[in-house]
Chain A
Amino acid sequence: MPRAAGSECVFSLEFAVEGMDFAAAGDVAGNLKRALQQIGLEPTTVRRACIVVYEAETNIVIHAYRGRITVDVSTKGIFIVAEDEGPGIVDVELAMREGYSTAPQHVREMGFGAGMGLPNIRRSADELDIQTKVGVGTKVQAVINIGRTGDGGGV
């Protein structure tokens, strides 16, 4: 996946996410939103990045043991990596289908695990790559391009 060019300033955020920590689900997205608004990105860009990160963090909370989300922001784009230690995804194509979920019943009762996570990430990201190994973990990488619609302009 393309990253920012060498000399350019890259702003990075890194967050640890714990499995089953539902109380903290949304913290990463909340922190990221605030930072992206302060950077001055377009509302739609901010929203797309937050949806990707929110779904990635809830995926870790629901399915994995623990994980880490890093977000790098440059003038070119927002690069999101969510990597976890967990069960991995048996069938990625199936997991991409809207409404398909392997979340346990008690998680669904809390309003999570509706099978919209990966589909929402795909809808919101400009680029998406998923590497997964059953029994080991999953690495989701997503890019949201910026600079097309007046990001950082004097809106």
Chain B
Amino acid sequence: MSQYFHSVTLDKSLCKGCTNCIKRCPTEAIRVTEGKSHITEERCIDCGECIRTCASHAKSALVDGFERLSDFEYRIALAPPSFFGLWKPQSEIPVACARLLSLGFDEVFEVALAADIVAEATRLLIENDSHPRPYISSACPAVIRLMQVRFPSLLPNLIPLEAPIEIAATLAKEEAIARTGLPAERIGGFFLSPCPAKVTAIKQPVGRMRSNIDAALSISEVYGAIARMPAGEVEPITIRATPSGIGWGGAGGEARATRIRAAVSVDGIHSVIQVLDEIERGRIQDIQYIEAQACVGGCLGGCLVSQNPFISKVRLMAAADTYGAKEPAVADIEVGRLLNGHKLSFDHPIEPRPVMKLDPDLAKALVMMKDLEMTLETLPGLDCGACGCPSCRALAEDIVRGNALKTDCIFLLRERVRELAEEMVDLARKVPPAMGQNAPGSLGETGERARDVTGGGRDDSR
């Protein structure tokens, strides 16, 4: 197995080699070389921005297929709030959940139940501990990975709580073991994922050794499978999560569910970066909690959700009000017990991923950095992307790393061609003395014959 698993993947046959994706990538993980896009594995945070940007649909998210259901004897569908937002108010959520059973699941477990727990646990932590503020939500795995790469100094601000999907899987399996008497390995947890980041978080988690979830299906594929099913009577499922747990799936839902007033809700990875910058500079001290989601619209805007997040948010809120439970399924006092018993926390530290570092040796890195700045000064600063790098600075970085050439810049290349052309014209005017004195340009230039015609020994190695 390679060092990194990534759900975000590229179909080279569809990639036209345009440079749209490289510009949107928040970690500058993409380059276009030899006419195709390439993702640098150690930089990719699986946010899905490139999937959204790609007009050729060359980028997509790897998910598990329905055939994985046959690997288990008892199959739990872990349905997140973003699944609830897909249905029009008139098609009832309890019916949609019941139809999941017809797809081959034995049980539907609402991730919103775990969101209720995480919301209460968050509130308890913020009311009772003196950890440096603001706490940053750990629910979005793309944001966690963004922090590992670009905001490592803020990792201590991550709230030490597992994401609702992991807590949901743990609870669902505990309940299923008790109910069925089956051993844990024969019970499968299937997450209906709205995004590639959560698929990656399941396949290669940070904050825990192994995920409790066994497979990740695409929400839109599941939605399609249900929509294609023949209409028929099903026994509606009772929704156990509260309206605020269900609302967790949309932007602003976490802040609402935790009832923390000094909370900032930010969605969209580039907006998240701006807020994290502010925190890093110490400018957000009056805020207790940051709800940060990589997708515009929160999980409803995930790139495996095929519907517009602004419309599905209205549906989600309507569903929450109509079907949400009056009381939380897990009482607040029990959440306190789980929290104090460390049942909700990570079991593994979340470490920085210093992938931007030029060299492990500080002295060497300083020399390279100096070189990078000098190289950058020779580049046009247009950030056109024609070299396949997202910016002139990224090209300068690639040059000092030995991964690119100066002439990859089409402006520098054009300049070099112009210089060469001028030299050729200049040379064409020169005539060897044996050919006579009347040729144009040959007078008085005998001293220049020894001139280095290669252009002053220009170094093309970079």
Contact = CB atoms under 8 A, between A and B. Distances in A.
B280 interface: yes
B352 A151 contact: no
A75 B280 contact: no
Identify the interface centre among A38, A47, A111, A120: most chain B CB within 10 Å of its CB: A38
Interface string A12-51: 1100000000000010011001110111110110110011
Nearest to B370: A11
Contact of B282 (A51, A147, A153): A51
B227 interface: no
Contacts, number: 81
B357 A38 contact: yes
A145 interface: no
A120 B441 CA distance: 68
A43 B152 contact: yes
A39 B360 contact: no
Contacts of B283: 111
Interface string A37-78: 111110110110011001000000000000000000111000
Interface in B339-365: 352, 354, 356-363, 365
Interface string B359-377: 1111101110110110000
A35 B360 contact: no
B356 A38 contact: yes
Identify the interface centre among A10, A34, A40, A116: most chain B CB within 10 Å of its CB: A40
A110 interface: no
B365 A40 contact: yes
Nearest to A54: B281
Interface string A144-155: 001100011111
Interface in B387-425: 393, 397
Interface string B152-166: 110100000000000
B277 A30 contact: yes
A74 to B, nearest CB: 7
Contacts of B153: 43-44, 46-47
A9 B360 contact: no
A111 B278 CA distance: 12
A146 B373 CA distance: 21
Nearest to B357: A40
B369 A39 contact: yes
A38 B396 CA distance: 12
Interface in A99-155: 111, 116, 120, 146-147, 151-155
Contact of B362 (A12, A29, A75): A75
**Main secondary structure on B side of the interface with A:** helix
A38 B281 contact: no
Q: How large is the interface on A (under 10, 10 to 19, 20 to 34, 35 or more residues)?
A: 35 or more
Given A44-B153, A51-B281, A38 B369 contact: yes
Given A120-B282, A154-B360, A11 B354 contact: no
Contacts of A154: 360
Given A9-B366, A11-B373, A38-B397, A153 B281 contact: no
A54 B278 CA distance: 10
Contact of A40 (B277, B281, B358): B358
B357 A47 contact: no
B280 A50 contact: yes
Contact of A43 (B282, B352, B359): B352
Contacts of A44: 153
B134 to A, nearest CB: 15
Contacts of B356: 34, 37-38
27 contacts: A9-B363, A9-B366, A12-B370, A35-B369, A35-B373, A37-B150, A37-B354, A37-B356, A37-B357, A38-B356, A38-B357, A38-B358, A38-B365, A39-B366, A40-B365, A43-B153, A43-B155, A50-B281, A51-B282, A54-B281, A74-B366, A120-B282, A146-B362, A147-B362, A151-B362, A152-B362, A152-B363
The 10 A-B pairs of least Cβ separation, nearest first, read A152-B362, A40-B357, A43-B153, A43-B152, A47-B153, A37-B356, A9-B366, A54-B281, A11-B369, A39-B365
Interface of A: 8-13, 26, 29-30, 33-35, 37-41, 43-44, 46-47, 50-51, 54, 73-75, 111, 116, 120, 146-147, 151-155
Given A34-B393, A40-B362, A73-B369, 17 more contacts: A9-B367, A11-B370, A12-B370, A26-B277, A30-B277, A34-B356, A38-B356, A38-B358, A38-B372, A51-B281, A51-B282, A54-B281, A75-B362, A75-B366, A120-B282, A153-B360, A155-B352
